Structure 1
Amino acid sequence: MIKPVYIGLPTDNNGHLLYSERLPANAMHRLVMAEVNYWQSDKFSLIEQYYDAPDAFICLADIHADSPIEVPISCGLSDLYWLYQLHGNYRIHLADQTRQIVLKTEGTSYTQIYVPEGQYITRFDKGKHRLFYFVIKPNWLQRQGRRAMEGFNHLLDSQRAQRQEAQHNQFCPLHDKVYKLLLSLFTLPKVKRFHYDILIYEHCFSLLDLSQEDLKRNSTSASTENDLLSHIRNYITEQIPKGNLISVADIAAFFKVNYRSLRRQHYQTYGYSLGEFIQHKRMEQAADFLINTDMPIKEIAYFLGYTINTSFDQRFKRYYGTSPSTYRLNNLKTS
């Protein structure tokens, strides 16, 4: 997709500001296959690592300032960002005479922010700052059969209306699940680009899913319904690798809850159906079997509850963009 944020610093060696497209040896984190912008002066250093997949964009930025600095940025598109402040904090201002604050981040927390197209100034205080963000194309979720998630509705409404002010959700803490998932992005294997794209999509979806849980948890007190849904999702995640075939009706019977109420509660909490979550976990397990075992594809399909191999092939191709056999072959070539 189009790079959503451009840093307004010169990309040539200009006086005391040096520029490079190579990551310095002392960089704490490295994004595999990422492009790099690295600026360095006697007052600050700024490293931008980013990877551009067709339907998603991820970026990690490290800033070390010996004194307060201001960095101009431009947003080329009106986008919805998932923004994670790993260390330090900063403020984003409009780049006009009003210098209105658009966002003031909070350390070790994250939020979702809608940012209109325009020019901005980012102010960093003295110290070290590290941030990560990703952007996903809305039609990527639509292709996966997922609807707009309710926690982001007012931000998406702003995007559809093309309003000219930035808005963001409440800040959520970078708890252990989110932090581990972010760290795992920096240990992804170097594989063929199309497979790496799929890994990025999976990570972004998982981060998006966790953010939906956190928004729901923070907006209301933890309820019995949410605790039950979390328990049910953990149960599904545990059962599918064991070959236990489960449906929404089976789960409702096992947990002694009303079938229709369960479907409604899951959709209201996560913005997509429990059946879609089960399919998501089945496809994740299918990909794992294809990469890490020599099980025949027919056996994988049967293990995951697909009695007709063509239906499994069609489902897998719709999810990953390629057939199971091609997916396995491409991964064998990269191993």
Structure 2
Amino acid sequence: MIIGIPKEIKTLENRVAMTPGAVASLARRGHTVLVEAGAGLGSGLSDEQYAAAGAKMVDAAGAWGADMVIKVKEPIASEYQYLRKGLLLFTYLHLAADRPLTDALLASGTTGVAYETVQLPDGTLPLLVPMSEVAGRMAPQVGAHALEKSQGGRGVLLGGVPGVPQASVVVVGAGVVGSNACKLAVGMGAQVTVLDVNHARLQYLDDIYQGRIVTMASNEANIRKAVTYADLLIGAVLIPGAKAPHLVTRDMLPTMKEGSVIVDVAVDQGGCVETIKATTHAAPTYVIDGVVHYGVANMPGAVPRTSTYALCNQTLPYALRLAAKGLDALREDCSLALGLNTVAGKLTFAGVAEACDLPLTALADALA
């Protein structure tokens, strides 16, 4: 198969889909790998390293002209021109929050396999986990920075100092993002409250932190209470492949402290905070009702070296299967099949169909 690795072009997105080591694994199996010149520079990976691994260096059109294109982030409007029938696109898509891209994929007939909806029998999302870990650990860091007075925040140090109380961090959601955010926030010395609907997750966190955090059932009353004392609120809610529910609503904002900060990691799925909107690393925050909102939709792009290797570690085995067997890989692997979102102009993922109010084609019928 001919495999293309384009350069990521979202604002300050420096990750790349495949490392030179991954390219070598594909090339050794007889695949032709086309890497756009400069694609790896943001992650500290040179064109010479890719060439030495067996890649052919090409321009953007060359990389997009491959049988299968592997990316990190979803195509943006300037890349829609490359979408076409017969193209297999393997990347994060987040279609539930992106109707224009959904329409472009369907109109073009592109086969879109989304990292974020590949799901193992135990419910694990193996290709979402590494970036959720990165984003979760970044959330307290960027939140701490946004709390600085020069950034519009309250001027509060997350861990406090002797004689002065630490900041209060509220984490809504105790999954991969939430548990990683909790770990970093506790490590930075903050007072941490975690809310979740899954009692078993709260039990787990309560056990491992041995009283160092507060756990609360996630319901409207408790969320309304928690936001009033939060210096930093971290949104960490995920419904696989679907839009995140608005758990922190517009009317809750006036009850929050002046200069408090919201970091909504769920923004690429629409956000769990009603007032969140996607921002960029170049202009990451805005203020509503005196509350600083951080809505960068590609947070791990700020630490591309770590993120590129973490992501590629998980995506490469699936890329190898797709390169070897194409759509047959989906027919043979139920977990990978759940990654299929669009094929031949049909939408195959229920969460996206519901969010976009579009017809759904059963996965079995789409793969028949």
* TM > 0.5: no
- TM-score normalised according to structure 1 size: 0.25
Could you say which structure has the higher strand fraction? Answer: 1
